[in-house]
Amino acid sequence: MTSPWLFTGLVLLVGLERVAELVVSKRHAAWAFSRGGVERGQSHYPVMVVLHTGLLVGAVAEVWAAGRPFVPALGWAMLALAVASQALRWWCIRTLGNQWNTRVIVVPGLSLVRSGPYRLFPHPNYVAVVVEGLALPLVHTAWVTAVVFTVANAVLLTVRVRVENAALREIATPAEALA
Q: 108: domain CATH number?
A: 1.20.120.1630
Count of CB atoms situated within 10 Å of the CB of 129: 23
Distance between CA 68 and CA 1 in Å, rounded?
12
pLDDT digits (tens, 9 = 90+) for 46-68: 999 999 999 999 999 999 999 99
Q: Report pLDDT for 178.
A: 45
Rg for the chain (alpha carbons), in Å? 17
According to DSSP, residue 110 is labeled P
For residues 69-89, average pLDDT: 98
Domain around 158: 4-178
Give the list of residues 6+ apart from residue 102 with CB closer than 8 angstroms, or none: 21, 22, 25, 45, 48
pLDDT digits (tens, 9 = 90+) for 138-152: 999 999 999 999 999
Question: pTM here?
Answer: 0.91
Distance between CA 64 and CA 74 in Å, rounded?
18
For the cut 70, the answer to whether the pLDDT of residue 161 exceeds it is yes
Asked if 90 contacts 14 with a C-beta cutoff of 8 angstroms, the reply is: no
Asked if 125 contacts 89 with a C-beta cutoff of 8 angstroms, the reply is: yes
Tabulate helix, strand, coil % of the chain (nearest 5). 75, 5, 20
Nearest CA-CA partner of 133 in 68, 78, 90, 170: 78
CB environment 38-65: b (16+ within 10 A), e (fewer): eeebeebeeebeebbeebbebbbebbee
Domains identified in the chain, total number? 1
